[in-house]
Amino acid sequence: MGRRFVVITGPTASGKTQVSVEVAKALGSCVISADSMQIYKGMDIGTAKVTPKEMRGVPHHMIDIVVPDQSYSAAEYQKTAFELIERENNAGRTPVIAGGTGLYIHSLVYDIDFTNTPRNDMVRQKYLQQADDKSIMHLYNNLRQKDPAYARIIEPTDLRRIVRRLEIIENGGAGEYEFRRMNTRDDMLIIGIAVPREALYSRINARVDEMLSNGLVEEAQRIYNQFGMSNALKAIGYKELVAHFEGDISFEAAEELIKRNTRRYAKRQMTWFKRDERINWVDFDTSRRIEDTINDIIKIIKEKGF
């Protein structure tokens, strides 16, 4: 018998945090985060990390597990998340996977075997040098040609994953990840929160304003001072402020870029998710209370036998 879990996903600022907590409470279980930025300690405001108060006593996992200058792979995420799911299942509980990082979600709901292709430092350095001589976008465009499916679910600024994937391909690894090969071993229910675009963009803009008023600039400055331009600081909400710290853009320009880049990210997320016909979409917009959306989701879970 396979593993059993519920996934709550959707674009950034769609209400996943509150929904996942309430669903986990209804199931008497826990939340396993699927957010590639909330794994970093100290990056709280810019990642909209769930607060102890928001957790409402529900255990949360895969949050605050590495410092910003440590690397953490999707293969590591997959291994640990599956172990947590199995632990919950063995205790008779169905955990809730919550987040919007495409690669993390895909690592659980698709049958992805992360290759053990050995590290090749010579090839790796070649691509890192290309990033310096040309740009990260040059490498990303190279990856889009060789493995468009993988390129669609990572950030164009994620140098570490871009280089590693190109390195694997050059060393004889799988030419493409088979993202369309579904995980049929496990028993899962995938629920997506759908927010009308205009309402979602309004929520994103308001969230950025709230982050800035809550101390995002100070948080980004502290991490930058301690770790320099680490891979974690290439995340939206931080990289724009780093550009401001380094004198490249004004604060006003950084603020607008954070909002624009977050909106674009949300659009890419929806493109990823709409490719999966297994997702049960539940509408949430300003005309409804989020409690109504939560009740709809819990109803679906019960109807599906979870």
pLDDT given for residue 176 in this prediction = 55
Give the chain's length. 306
DSSP structure class, residue 230: -
Domain check: are 265 and 281 in the same one? Answer: yes
Q: Please, which pLDDT band fits residue 111 given cuts at 50, 70 and 90? A: confident
Q: Is residue 273 part of a domain?
A: yes
Nearest Cα residue to 163 out of 106, 209, 122, 211: 122
Q: Are residues 44 and 89 in the same domain?
A: yes
66 forms bridges with which residues in the sheet? 40
285 vs 195: CA distance, rounded Å = 5
State residue 164's pLDDT score.
86
Q: Give the distance from CA 185 to its chain's centroid.
A: 23
Question: Quick one: 164 and 292 in the same domain?
Answer: no
Among candidate residues 136, 299, 127, the one with its CA nearest the CA of residue 229:
136
How far does Cα 21 stand from its chain's mean position?
17
Model confidence over 20-78: pLDDT tens digits? 999 999 999 999 999 999 999 999 999 999 999 999 999 999 999 999 999 888 889 99
In a domain, 179, yes or no: no
Question: Looking at the predicted structure, is the pLDDT value of residue 80 above 90?
Answer: yes
Q: For the chain, what percent of residues have pLDDT higher than 70?
A: 95
Give the pLDDT confidence score for residue 285 in this predicted structure. Answer: 74
Answer yes or no: pTM beyond 0.85: no
- pLDDT tens digits, 112-152: 777 666 777 888 888 888 888 888 899 999 999 998 888 88
Residue 177 belongs to some domain of the structure: no
Does 201 lie in the same domain as 284? Answer: yes
Output the six-digit token pair for 242.
């780093």
Q: State both tokens at 234.
A: 């290439």
Q: Please report whether residue 180 resides in a domain.
A: no
Q: 301 pLDDT band (50/70/90 cuts)?
A: very high
**Is residue 270 located within the same domain as residue 143?**
no
For residue 123, the model assigns a pLDDT of 85
Note whether residue 182 is domain-resident: no
Same domain as 23, residue 158: no
**Across 238-247, average pLDDT:** 95
DSSP SS3 for 187: strand
pLDDT, one tens digit per residue, over 171-223 is 776 655 555 578 999 999 999 999 999 999 999 999 999 999 999 999 999 99
Average pLDDT of the chain to the nearest whole number: 90
Q: For residues 193 and 74, state if they share a domain.
A: yes
Residues 295 and 214 in one domain: yes
Structural domain for 284, as ranges: 4-113+187-303
CATH of the domain at 198: 3.40.50.300
**pLDDT tens-digit readout, 244-268:** 999 999 999 999 999 999 999 999 8
Question: At residue 243, does pLDDT exceed 90?
Answer: yes
Task: Reduce the DSSP state of residue 237 to 3 states and report it.
Answer: coil
Q: Are residues 103 and 127 in the same domain?
A: no
Count of domains observed in the chain: 2
Q: In this structure, are 126 and 103 located in the same domain?
A: no
Check pLDDT > 90 for residue 88.
Answer: yes
The reported pLDDT for the residue numbered 168 is 84
Q: Return all residues near 7 (Cβ < 8 A) that are at least 6 apart.
A: 34, 96, 97, 98, 105, 108, 109, 188, 189, 190, 191
Listed in sequence order, the residues at least 6 apart from 199 whose beta carbon sits closer than 8 Å to its beta carbon are 285, 286
Question: Is 257 contained in some domain?
Answer: yes
Q: Is the pLDDT of residue 286 over 90?
A: no
Residue 228 covered by a domain: yes
Give domain status of residue 181, yes or no.
no
